[in-house]
Structure 1
Amino acid sequence: MARKRREASLTQEELASRLYVTHTTVSKWERGISYPDISLVPGICRELGISEHEFFTACDDLAGRRAQRDARRWRGMTRAGQTILCVCYGLTVLICFICDLAVFHRLDWFWIVLTSLMLAFSLTTLPVLVKRSRAVVCLASATVCLLLLLLSCGLYAGMAAVGRGLAITAACLLLPWGLYALWRLCRQYRPTLSLLLLTVWTYLLLLVIWLVTGGDWLFSLAFPIATLSYAFVWIYFAVAHWLPLHPCLKAGLLTAVTALAIPVGTSFADALTGGQAPGRTFAAYFDWSRGMTVASEEGTVTGNRLVFWLLLAAAAVLLAVGAGLALRRRKRDAAGKEE
Structure 2
Amino acid sequence: MNMDITKQDFGRFVTERRRAAGLTQRQLAERLHVTESAVSKWERGLSYPDITLVQAIASELGVSGQELISASEDHEGRAEKRDARSYRGWRNAILWSTLFAWAAAVITCFIVNLSVQHTLSWFWVVLPAVGLAFSLTTLPLLPVPRPGWLALAGATICLMALLLVVWMQFAAGSWLAITVSGVLFGLLLVFAPIWVALLELPAGLARHRTLLTLVIDTVALIVFLLIVFVALGYPELWVWPVLPILAIGATPIWVTALAIRYLPLSGLAIAAIVTAFLGACAPVINRAIEAVLGTGEPWTLDLSTWNAATMDANIQFLIFIACMGAALLLGLAAVVRAVSGRRAGIAEAQ
Same fold, judged at TM 0.5 (above): yes
Distance across 2 between alignment mates of 1:77 and 1:130: 15
Which one-letter code corresponds to 2:70 in the other structure?
T
1:1-339 residue pairs with structure 2 within 5 A? 1=13, 2-134=15-147, 137-138=150-151, 140-142=153-155, 144-157=157-170, 164=177, 168=181, 172=185, 175=188, 180=195, 183-186=198-201, 188-189=206-207, 190-215=209-234, 216-279=236-299, 284=301, 290-291=302-303, 295-297=307-309, 304-336=316-348, 338-339=349-350
Distance across 1 between alignment mates of 2:232 and 2:255: 32
- Comparing 8-17 with 37-46, greater Cα deviation is found at 8-17
- TM-score of the aligned structures, taking structure 2 as reference length: 0.75
Q: What is the CA distance between 1:305 and its match in structure 2?
A: 4.6
Q: What is the CA distance between 1:325 and its match in structure 2?
A: 0.6
- TM-score of the aligned structures, taking structure 1 as reference length: 0.77
Larger Rg: 2
Q: Give the number of equivalent residue pairs.
A: 330
Distance across 1 between alignment mates of 2:322 and 2:304: 11
In 2 relative to 1, CA 107–22 (structure 1 residues): closer, same or farther, beyond 3 Å? farther
Q: What is the CA distance between 1:120 and its match in structure 2?
A: 3.3
Distance across 2 between alignment mates of 1:258 and 1:124: 41
Which one-letter code corresponds to 1:329 in the other structure?
G
Q: Is the 8 A contact 1:96 1:110 kept in 2?
A: yes
Deviations 1:22-75 (A, max 9, x none): 444333323222222323323333444434333332234344344444444444
Structure 2 unaligned segments of length 5 or more: list them: 1-12
Q: What is the CA distance between 1:15 and its match in structure 2?
A: 4.1
Q: What is the CA distance between 1:108 and its match in structure 2?
A: 0.7
Which one-letter code corresponds to 2:265 in the other structure?
L
Distance across 2 between alignment mates of 1:49 and 1:191: 54
Q: What is the CA distance between 1:327 and its match in structure 2?
A: 2.4
Distance across 2 between alignment mates of 1:108 and 1:149: 13
Q: What is the CA distance between 1:202 and its match in structure 2?
A: 1.4
- Comparing 182-191 with 166-175, greater Cα deviation is found at 166-175
Distance across 2 between alignment mates of 1:92 and 1:208: 36
Q: Share of identical aligned residues, percent?
A: 33
Partner of residue 287, structure 1:
none
Deviations 1:3-34 (A, max 9, x none): 23344454444544544444443333232222
In 2 relative to 1, CA 95–31 (structure 1 residues): closer, same or farther, beyond 3 Å? same
Structure 1 unaligned segments of length 5 or more: list them: 285-289
Secondary structure of the corresponding residue to residue 296 of structure 1: coil
Which one-letter code corresponds to 1:196 in the other structure?
V
Distance across 2 between alignment mates of 1:16 and 1:109: 71
